Structure 1
Amino acid sequence: MRALVEYQDVPSSDAIRMGQIFGASATDSGAVVNERTAMKVAAVYAGVRLLAGAIATTPCSFYRKTVGEDGRRGREKAGDHDYWWLFNEQPCERFSAATFWEFIMSQTLLRGDGIAYLVRAHKYSPAVTNVIPVPRDNVEITRSGQRLLYKIHDQMADGSTGYFVADQDDVLHFPNFGFNGTCSPSVIALGARQAIGIALKADEHAALTFGGGASIQYAVKAPKAMSLQQQGEFRDAWVAKYGSGQGHSKIPLILTEGLEVQELSMTAADAQLLESRRFQVVDIARAIGVPPHMIGETTASTSWGSGIEQMSQGFVRYALRPHLHRYAQELNRKLFPRLDRFFVEFNVDGQLEGDSKSQAEYFGKALGGPGAQGWMTVNEVRALKNLPPVPGGDVLFKPTAAAKKPDDKEKPDEQDDEPTAPAAGA
């Protein structure tokens, strides 16, 4: 359980992490890449927002394990469980469930680990009453044998600040890809570090280009030679009239003696600036693990599918589901003992919904029909569409035994060719 300890300095083993926080880690391009600078790149912001928003809108479903009379194992929804409210509505007073999951996902991507500590009902109670997210920068993770200890800097109950030590059973630790048993690397520290650095430099270059003269410049051609004094006076008059606050881009070039200039300004496309920026979007999306077309890069063809439904399935299967699987495992092992009857799953059905025609075909097959066993009831389908149950809607459709068709090989009973003998006295 947690114990309050005195405030202490961050150990030198976290020097690399602190360097990222305070901007001491520069890329080969010269740009400093950390959590704050990375989010200034539109592609990073869009990718993190996409995954964070996706998990924030994915229901965290609680189930109860069941055993039927025949011994078969099953499950049923446990929407009345106390933890349903914590992870679907409000984990603590400062966060809604949506903002909680957005915070956890952004920390997972940008800092490597999403951390939240569990507040128990009392010291010896397994019941959780609050789930409080903590910035990764406020947590120092150390090993104690085969277990982890978390030194968390946070505000105490009396309003003071300090460290408390939490055992791993009292902390939800959501790691990123590459977990080494203690912590995980962030996307910006490894996979996208150089790409983000180049993108930052490209943004800086674009700002300087457009701020200092990417727009059309002016050339004034004089019919005859002008002295340097005359040229200077003309420029001063021009700037006073048209160029105030515009920098050097609005100062005209004066041409004398019939000189001609074919082109005065170099566009960003000519300098391959736009192409470079477009490539960085794809590179960053590749590192984060999201489809480029879902963060605005639609110039190239996509291999994530040809329709909206296929693209959504690809995003859920390859981008979102790995995170959800790790999150569900962490919730199950920290919230419920091994022999507990409850467990958690994230329901991605809403993310995979197709158009109305596809849904109608799917639900039609799910309900069953002539010669086909149904696997959903009418009320289960209505619940998915937020409709109230109807009487008799909880019965699973089972097809009746089909009428036996006559065998072509069997001939019908042959009637006697001879007429029936008439009755006596006829």
Structure 2
Amino acid sequence: MGYSKEKLNEEKVFKDPVHRYVHVRDQVIWDLIGSKEFQRLRRIKQLGTTFFTFHGAEHSRFNHSLGVYEIVRRIVDDVFCGRPEWDQEERLLSLCAALLHDIGHGPFSHSFEKVFNLDHEEFTKDIILGNTEVHRILARVNNEFPEKVAEVIGKTYKNKQVVSLISSQIDADRMDYLQRDAYFTGVSYGHFDMERILRVMRPHDDQVVIKHSGMHAVEDYIMSRYQMYWQVYFHPVTRSAEVILTKTLHRAKHLYKQSYSFKTPPVHFYSLFENKPILKDYLKLDEAVVLYYLQMWIEEDDSILKDLCSRFMNRNLFKYSEFDPAKEYKKVVRLSELFKQAGIDPEYYLVVDSSSDLPYDFYRPGEEEERQPIHLLMKNGEIHELSRESDIVDAISGKRRTDHKLYYPLDFIMDDRSEKSVKKQICALLGLQKEEK
């Protein structure tokens, strides 16, 4: 029996708060979970800085990756197995891609990517194809297998049914993170009837479709996702922490480029600061490493770096105001001038942050983040795009919502570093109450 068919002597299970149990019987999956690249995900939070807002949001990419694997396992073993439209030879590929889809994430994922212009999917493919334990495990299946896993995650694999299980508008990734993030943040928005959705999923031609009888469960799922984005993922307090972390890393990179003499040199960041990220260096980075530097940099001589690090470590976050960039651009220009007069560097302390989401979209070829729409399998066998049948989904289809906030340090504005006239103008522009005498 080849490695791809090799089973464990006894099924292994992980106790899970969302799916109750995660079941592992394949030797390949068990070996991948035990690899050092996958174990690193235990040290990277699923929701980045969200724990500043929802204190329970301490769960990891490791938790989530196991959850996505479990959903796909249920689909290919229980729902699709035996159906003529599904090739059971794709089973192991689907499971491996589900398990490894997030393995390239860095610490504080999206903040990190913005600062260093990184793409976690590219690192995911590098880990799968590079000199890693993960690659050696996958290559034991056959020499082409690592490339196939990378193609599924990169959405270029020829069998689009496999791709859609991992990346579509109703994929295992979204179904896990909505429920998992709702559980750990303590909110009710992310809950939907996943059991019903799994029961009505069907393989069809080059995609996964939903039986028409399950349309209302899908509507509930889409609205749950919409609510989670605006109530949790885009929460303004979480974004304030992201802004501070982003500016901290920008400051550290700037100081490095200026040959600043760090008391605690950022050796783990050197290749990133040089814009030449090396995989072996990237894999040494996790949130424990980043937090170590943030803690140590509080003792640096640079006043901006030490202040930003202190703010992040002690949750002294920026305040925020509503902001309309189309109408208030001049206000930011004026505030920048006033901040400079007050001795506050606007580069680090006056930040416009924007969040945007498209809750559901139909097929728009060639557009950024293009994803296949959700299709319904009608009773007569026809395939209809979801928004054609659902008034609820039609009402939000293609409608991108964007939110802008202006972040600033209220304590700096209100202290005695600036003249009263300058402080008064800043307060007026930010809509703050006049400072007390």
Q: Is the pair's TM-score, using the shorter chain for normalization, greater than 0.5?
A: no
Decide which structure has greater helix share.
2
Per the normalisation by structure 1, the TM-score is 0.26
Decide which structure has greater strand share.
1
